[in-house]
């Protein structure tokens, strides 16, 4: 939840708000609809059954990092029980509000960061590529963005349009619009995070320490033992030549270390080589016990 | 193609306190209370530069982490710890700082006299900034 721009967050900082924003800014989004009740969702799924659309995603309005999504592989199969169980569970635990969208095969999912100061000056801060889990939905980290100049310029244009729109609404502060590059070559707007995107922090840490964002930049988190102390973590990383600065003047910097109490180990790998950063990542996974990815 | 030509300007939204001609950054994640801020405050320490003044809740950030960070940035950060008790644990860091006169005096000693403290009140409105004369 964004605390700096509550009005923007309230209106546009969720899945159905993103559809509204896309409409107002004339941004490309997957075909779909926002539904406020379970009945509306079921009714809309029935309507979609009579179209060419086969695969859809149901997104809970307030979902974060891909949690609270349901992918329906084939609308023609009987998904009734699965859908109702999902919708009821979301409603009971989180509240209502969903968006149903046609599944668009993704080539890259892209995060970005915009800053708007009190003088209404816009800073397009960063663009990066999100690491998505095997489920094709859940967010697992970030790496440098590798796209064509054409797509890059399109993204910059989208970011400017969104920033101008936010200013017109009286908003300021940090915002993180998410995009997707579809396999069809089109850029889609996904959602507006009305807060500092979490990847902005490892990016800035890296920029500060290294002076630039190296090609082997990798920000992610893994699940480790709960309550591990930073000094123990540091000792193990140093012993294995993983902690930045390692002997090769690259390595891993832990951040967000308060989360260690809950067993969430956040780190950014700084290296000029993607191959080397993968090596560091795999070695870190091996070194820490519960290596299930976290968000 | 690799793009990293964009600049990150943390100051625009996170630079919460201005004292006279100098700037104090309270690296707070707005008004997240209790244990959530525990982790966020440590994340913000990671962004501080030599000479920065970072206001944190007392005991929330292990000093060995601050030491590690200082070794990376090759300089010292001025850490001011704000007392927190059961009565005020749900307050945001700026709110806590406002109530903690001792800490403000500490900042005042470090910086200009007769400074104006501006605290970003993130709980109310995105355009509202409160001012308090020290």
Backbone φ, ψ for residue A119 (5° rounding): -90, 15
CB contact under 8 A, B1 and A149: yes
Q: Top-level CATH class of A32-102? A: alpha beta
Taking the domain A104-193, which CATH number applies? 3.30.470.20
Select the residue from A175, A243, A257 to test the B interface by mutation, using most B Cβ atoms within 10 A.
A257
Whether the CB-CB separation of B31 and B88 falls below 8 Å is answered with no
Contacts of A175 by beta carbon, 8 Å cutoff, 6+ apart: A5, A8, A113, A114, A115, A116, A162, A163, A166, A192, A193, A194, A195
Tell me the pLDDT tens digit for each residue of B41-75.
Answer: 555 678 777 776 676 666 667 889 989 999 999 98
Q: Give the helix ranges, DSSP H, for A117-259.
A: 149-168, 200-210, 230-239
Cα gap A91→B20, rounded to integer Å = 50
Per-residue pLDDT in tens (0 to 9) along chain B, 134 residues = 233 333 333 333 333 333 333 334 444 333 333 223 333 455 567 877 777 667 666 666 788 998 999 999 998 877 767 666 666 666 655 556 656 555 555 555 555 443 444 443 333 333 233 333 33
pTM, two decimal places: 0.77
ipTM of this complex: 0.77
Sorted by where each begins, the domain ranges of chain A are: 32-102, 104-193, 200-287
Q: Does B116 touch chain A (CB under 8 A)?
A: no
Whether the CB-CB separation of A177 and A189 falls below 8 Å is answered with yes
Q: Does B103 touch chain A (CB under 8 A)?
A: no
Query: Closest Cα of chain B to A122: distance in Å?
Result: 9
**Tokens (6 digits) for A216:** 């082997």
Residue A121 has pLDDT above 90, yes or no: no
Sorted by where each begins, the domain ranges of chain B are: 20-133
Whether the CB-CB separation of A31 and A102 falls below 8 Å is answered with yes
As a whole number, mean pLDDT of residues A167-177 equals 83
Tell me the pLDDT tens digit for each residue of A42-53.
Answer: 899 889 888 989
Contacts of A108 by beta carbon, 8 Å cutoff, 6+ apart: A129, A145, A146, A147, A180, A181
């Amino acid at each position: 939840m964004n605390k700096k721009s509550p009005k923007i967050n309230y209106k546009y900082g969720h899945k159905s708000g993103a559809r509204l924003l896309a409409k107002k800014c004339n941004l490309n989004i997957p075909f779909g609809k926002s539904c406020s009740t379970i009945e509306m969702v079921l009714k809309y799924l029935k309507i979609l059954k009579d179209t060419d659309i086969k695969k859809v995603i149901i997104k809970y309005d307030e979902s974060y990092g891909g949690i609270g999504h349901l992918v329906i592989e084939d609308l023609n199969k009987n998904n009734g029980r699965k859908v109702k169980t999902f919708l009821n569970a979301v409603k009971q635990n989180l509240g209502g509000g969903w968006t149903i969208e046609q599944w668009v095969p993704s080539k890259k999912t892209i995060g970005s960061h915009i800053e708007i100061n009190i003088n209404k000056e816009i800073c397009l801060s960063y663009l990066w590529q999100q690491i998505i889990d095997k489920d094709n939905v859940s967010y697992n980290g970030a790496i440098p963005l590798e796209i064509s100049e054409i797509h890059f310029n399109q993204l910059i244009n989208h970011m400017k349009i969104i920033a101008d729109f936010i200013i017109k609404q009286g908003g300021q502060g940090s915002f993180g619009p998410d995009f997707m590059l579809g396999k069809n070559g089109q850029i889609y707007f996904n959602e507006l995070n009305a807060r500092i995107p979490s990847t902005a922090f490892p990016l800035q840490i890296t920029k500060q320490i290294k002076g630039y964002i190296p090609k082997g930049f990798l920000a992610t988190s893994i699940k480790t033992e709960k309550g591990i102390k930073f000094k123990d973590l540091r000792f193990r990383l140093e012993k294995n030549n993983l902690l930045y600065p390692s002997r090769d003047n690259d390595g891993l910097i832990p951040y967000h270390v308060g989360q260690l109490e809950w067993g969430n180990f956040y780190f950014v790998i700084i290296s000029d080589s993607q191959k080397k950063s993968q090596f560091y990542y795999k070695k870190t996974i091996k070194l820490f016990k519960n290596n299930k990815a976290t968000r | 193609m690799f793009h990293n030509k964009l600049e990150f300007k943390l100051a625009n939204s996170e630079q919460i306190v201005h004292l006279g001609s100098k700037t104090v950054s309270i690296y707070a994640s707005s008004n997240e209370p209790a244990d959530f801020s525990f982790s966020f405050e440590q994340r913000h320490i990671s962004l501080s530069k030599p000479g920065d003044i970072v206001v944190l809740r007392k005991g929330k950030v292990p000093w060995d982490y601050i030491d590690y960070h200082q070794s990376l940035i090759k300089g010292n950060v001025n850490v001011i710890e704000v007392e927190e008790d059961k009565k005020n644990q749900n307050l945001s860091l700026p709110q806590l700082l406002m109530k903690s006169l001792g800490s403000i005096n500490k900042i005042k000693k470090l910086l200009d006299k007769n400074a104006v403290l501006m605290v970003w009140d993130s709980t109310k409105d995105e355009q509202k900034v409160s001012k308090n004369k020290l």
